[in-house]
Every structure is written in C-alpha cells, then in structure tokens.
A and B are shown apart, each in its own frame.
Chain A
C-alpha cells in the first residue's frame, strides 16, 4: 500500500515538473503582455504635464507626433491639425523670462498659474505644456488631451525618442526594420557558407575530418555572445571603419557579420542532420546510375532534405533576431530606419538591453520596452512554431 502510494506520489512530482516549461511560457506571456500592452493606456506627456490652449482654440485632442512637430516648428498653423487658420505660438519654459520678470512670478512661482492663464488668453494661437500644479484653479484657458499611444502609430511610427520632451515618441518601425535587416543580411552570409560546410561534413569529408569538425562547431556554438561582441568591437568594427572610410565602424554590417558567425553552428548542425536523413538507398540508386557524388548531392540529397535545410535557415534567423549582446556592442545603436549596411542601426533586443536600466519602473518608457519584448516574443514564437510544425510534417511525410 505504502509503496504504491510512494510510486503515485513520485509520478505526481514528475508530472508537476513537466508542467514547469508550459507554466513558464504562460507566465512569460502574462507578464510581458500585461506590462507591454499597458503602454497603450499611457499619455505621451511626461509626468503630470498637461497641454493648455487659448479657450477659443477648436483643437480638442492632439497626437504625440503632432506635439513633437509643433515643438520642432514643423507645424506652424492650427489649421494643419484641424483648428482654425491661426499661426501657432509656442510657449516653452526656457523663454519664460521673455514674458515675465522674476518678481512677477513670485518667490516660489506662486503667481505663475495666474500669469500663465492670462498669457494664454491674450494670444489666440498659443500652446503651452506644463505641470498640472501650475494650472490656475479657475482657469479660462482650455486643457486638451494628448492622444494615448495607439498600437498603429507604435508599430508604424518612424521615430523612437522614448524620453523626448514634451511628448515621447514611440515609433518602433526603425527598430523592427533594423532587427530584420541585420538578421537577414547575416543569414545571407551564413547560409551559403553553413550549407557548404554541412554538405562537406555530411557527404564529402571522411570520418576523420568529421571527427575534428564536429567538436569545433560545438565549441563555436558554446562561446558566449559577449565574447563574439567583444571580438567584433575590437577587430571587425575598426576593420570596417578603415576599409570603408567611415566616421564610425559600428554599423549594421558589423552586426551582420558577427551574427552570421554566431548563426553558423545552428545552420551547420541542423542542415547536416537533415542531409544525413536522406535514405542511403536513394543515394546508392543515384550513384549506381552513373551520377557523380556531386550530381547525387544536387539532384537527390538536397531536394530530399529541403525542408530540413529551410528549417535551419529559419532557426538561424530566429537566433539572429533574438541575439542581444553581440549586436548591442557592434551596431552603433542609432534608432533610425537603416538605408545602407554602413550606417549604425539598432535592433529590438539591443534597445531593451541598452535602455531598460535607465527606464523608471512602470513609467511609459519601461512599458514601451516591454511592448518591444512582446514584439520580439511574437516574432520568435511564430518562427519556432513554423519550424516545429514543418518538421512534424516532414516526419509524417516520410
């Protein structure tokens, strides 16, 4: 009886452990998304700042990128954003002394609210952004809402200034494009070389050579990414800088090269396994018909292992997209949409790693970084599921 109970107990414990991975994936989803999605409830204004206009102004809400454009003086007339034809007058605290003397404001800025209110009412086109505490209780001026961060402008926005004043700019397009760009170029480098090595190991090299290659490739896979990053920083970055005569060597190209090297072991091992799965009888049949080894590889082995090779490529891209430290160290981290490989770029993981330390917990920046984490998670999840299901199909196909 007791023995049976213990057996059941142990089986229960074993089963519980087997749920840990599932639980972790679920918890990751819950935490990542609850933090990440809450960015869309946030106003882009810093702290308790508010936007205040003349009470006659017809504009009732304003987007974060419009705020930026107004303060950058790219938008200079209210009619461009749905108001009447009136030019925009900016009020910034840097210029406060142009309007008021220190005496007028009082020792603790105690007269500021009243002064601000009358200033805004005297200029029909004026806009000011300031803290709520400087708002006059019986204000005549009009407070308007800044639009909350919306998912569309988050994904599609082309400017990433998460600490900008007066309104943060959270457009992740340059980061997404930077990530994909660097990763795809890396695979472009790594796939031909990796595939060639896999074919060499699976079909050409003799047993002795393979016994040397295999552990070396394993070692290549085991080296920490910061070591690759460090190598990139002290060797590849200066090399790129001097050979292309660039102001800085930290570029997308440096990132792609390092990522290509790091993706090699994955590509080599996965595609070598796939090549090895080709039935011996197929290869023998081809050789027996007078095909050379090379013809057999091209006409029989590669078509047969096609789905395994594509899985290798996809997994390689997945690794490259998620790689953090090496990319952070060599790409220069400029959050602009990349046009050439010789410019600094910034990837999603590098952004998170570089900025999370400085983002105050639960602030908008912090939440935006979690939202980036969600995007990264979704991309890699899709890639994993794709590989997993295509390999299932492959197994059933055989």
Chain B
C-alpha cells in the first residue's frame, strides 16, 4: 500500500460511520416527530380558557384547570417532603461517611429504590398511606408516594454535586478553624448549589409526569372543583391524559382535549429542562465548579 491508496478498511469505516450517523439522526427524528406531531395537533387547543376552565360535557370540552392545580399540589407536596430529606441524606453520605460499609449500603439501597418500577410505588403507597395509615385517597398519600419516588434522584444529584466540589475548598476552610458544619454551610453547599438545584428541577419534571404511583393514592377520574385540604382527592395532568384517551365516556370527542393535555405535559418538561440547563450554566459560571 502506498501513501495515497484507498483501502478497504477506510471504506468500512465510511460505511459504518454513515450508518451510525443515520441511526443517530433517526433517534433525533423519532423525538422530533413525537414532539412535533403532538404539538402540531394540540397547540391550537391550548389557550387561556383551556388552562383556566373546568372540564365540561363529559370532559370533551372546557379546560383542564383542576388537573393543573392537582399536579401543582402534588409537586409541592412531594418536594416539601423529598427535597430536604434528599439533600440532607446526600450531604450525610458524601460529607460524613468515609468509604465505609454504611455508605456503600445506603448507596446500594438508594440505587435499588431508584430502580423500583413506579407501579410498585403505587402499590406500596396504597397499602401504607391509603390503607394502613388511613390517609385515604388524598393529596397527602399521593405526595408522599411521589416523594419517595423522587428521593433517590435528589440524593444522587446532591451527592454528585458535592463530589464535584474540589477538596481544596474544604481543606482551606477547615484549616481556617471552621467546623465541618460551617464548612458545609458556607463553602461546600454554595459551590454545589447549581447542580443540586438542577437535580431538584429535574425531579419536579419526573414527579409531574408520573401516573402509576398516583392511580390508587390520589388521582380522581373527574372532579370539577379545587381541593380544599391535603385530605382531598385531586385530578392530575398525566392521569387525566390517560383517562380521556383510553376510558373516557367519549374518547373520540375528547381527542382534542387529550392533545391539549399532552402539549401541556410536554411544555412542562421542556421548560423545566431549559431552566435546569440555564441554572447549570449561569450559577455554574458564578461558582466555577469543575
């Protein structure tokens, strides 16, 4: 072979890379066709009335206001529970436990919890919160169930965020006579904050879209009023979409409502992702984490 010869292996490389390129573009194509299709069909439905009105006529007309409020309630409830516990747990694992069996055990359990299917969370929530503790189908039961689901996500991101803080920050602070707690409070946490917040936002995304855990713990099929206490049932966006696209009284006529609901769900995830990326970028720059 001379320096200028074209060989077979180069042809193989070209073919392989073109296949990869096409498959990757295919993956992008799938995503954009899903998003594009739903947005195209549903964007006209989404207007001010749609998001501020009660459903009407067997959920074929009107809006999805109670479902939006319900989902907001569930997000708030689950985060009140999961965020502090998750962050504190992450701090403890990363800052207080050395490479001990305890740390490995907790990490293993967190990983296991993260891998449990959401429907199992639903079963568990129903058995413990709804039946055993007697909360009934309620925002309280639903929020706790969703909170447990979000917990491993928050713990993991907190851990990762803290791990990426350079040890020299900690050592510098400790060398100045600060206690461990002061170091965490004044040095480590502020530097890790952007990534922790990113994790928080992404777990909101996860919670807002979950259906299986709320099926038997809180979600109402049709409830055209707003909740007045944490012991009330609520409608929720993902469950609402499930209901009107599969088992509503008139599936055909509620199709437009279904598209609209799907658009709202996608927009929520899209916006949360954008915010998370922005936070990562801007706050990250401010503190320069690696």
Contacts and interface: CB of A to CB of B under 8 A. Distances in A.
B273 A235 contact: no
B155 interface: yes
A225 B128 CA distance: 25
A293 interface: yes
Nearest to B110: A21
Contacts of B96: 11, 14-15
Nearest to B149: A24
A200 B115 CA distance: 27
A32 B123 contact: yes
A224 interface: yes
A20 B30 contact: no
A324 interface: yes
Contact of B109 (A21, A215, A261): A21
A194 B106 CA distance: 31
B131 A361 contact: yes
Interface stretch (B20-28, B52-60, B164-172, B225-233): B20-28
Interface in A209-257: 213, 215-220, 222-231, 233-235
B119 A222 contact: no
Contacts of B222: none
Interface stretch (B43-51, B72-80, B189-197, B264-272): B264-272
Interface string B118-152: 11111110111001100000000000000010011
Interface in B1-32: 9-10, 12-13, 16-17, 19-21, 23-24, 26-28, 30-31
Nearest to B88: A17
Most buried by B among A226, A353, A356: A226
Interface stretch (A63-71, A143-151, A160-168, A381-389): A381-389
A324 B37 contact: no
Contacts of B91: 14
Interface residues of B, number: 85
Contacts of B38: 227, 230-231
A216 B37 contact: no
A31 B127 CA distance: 7
A223 B36 CA distance: 13
Given A292-B9, A295-B13, A329 B119 contact: no
Contacts of A380: 115-117, 120
Contact of A10 (B20, B181, B202, B262): B181
Contacts of A385: 108, 112
Nearest to B28: A216
B119 A353 contact: yes
Contacts of A31: 124, 127-128, 132
B265 to A, nearest CB: 5
B127 A32 contact: yes
The size bracket of the interface on A is 35 or more
Interface stretch (A95-103, A112-120, A274-282, A315-323): A315-323
Nearest to A293: B13
A329 B34 contact: no
B181 to A, nearest CB: 5
Interface in A367-386: 369-370, 373, 376-377, 380-381, 383-385
B31 A28 contact: no
B212 interface: yes
Contacts of B34: 223, 227-228, 231, 261
A10 to B, nearest CB: 6
A85 to B, nearest CB: 47
Interface string A324-363: 1100110000000000000000000100110011000100
B120 A229 contact: no
Interface in B80-115: 84-86, 88-89, 91-93, 96-97, 105-106, 108-113, 115
A28 B116 contact: yes
B262 A22 contact: no
Nearest to A35: B127
B253 to A, nearest CB: 14
B246 interface: yes
A15 B102 CA distance: 11
A328 B246 CA distance: 10
A109 interface: no
B238 interface: yes
B216 interface: yes
A229 B122 CA distance: 18
A59 interface: no
B208 interface: yes
A322 B88 contact: no
Given A14-B89, A28-B124, A373-B123, A7 B117 contact: no
Contacts of B258: 230
B211 interface: yes
A318 B112 CA distance: 11
B245 A199 contact: no
A18 B88 contact: yes
A193 interface: yes
B118 A322 contact: yes
Contacts of A217: 27
A4 to B, nearest CB: 9
A356 B111 contact: no
Given A227-B265, A384-B112, A204 B202 contact: no
B179 interface: yes
A161 to B, nearest CB: 21
A80 interface: no
Contacts of B109: 21-22, 25
A188 interface: no
Contacts of A219: 31, 269-270, 273
B27 A264 contact: yes
Contact of A24 (B151, B211, B277): B151
8 contacts: A18-B97, A21-B106, A24-B148, A35-B127, A200-B17, A224-B209, A226-B211, A373-B120
Which 8 A-B pairs rank lowest in CB-CB distance, beginning with the nearest? A224-B209, A322-B117, A294-B13, A17-B88, A14-B92, A384-B115, A196-B23, A324-B212
Given A24-B151, A227-B34, A329-B246, 18 more contacts: A14-B88, A21-B151, A27-B128, A28-B116, A196-B19, A219-B270, A227-B38, A230-B258, A231-B262, A292-B13, A294-B16, A322-B120, A323-B117, A325-B242, A353-B119, A376-B119, A381-B115, A383-B115
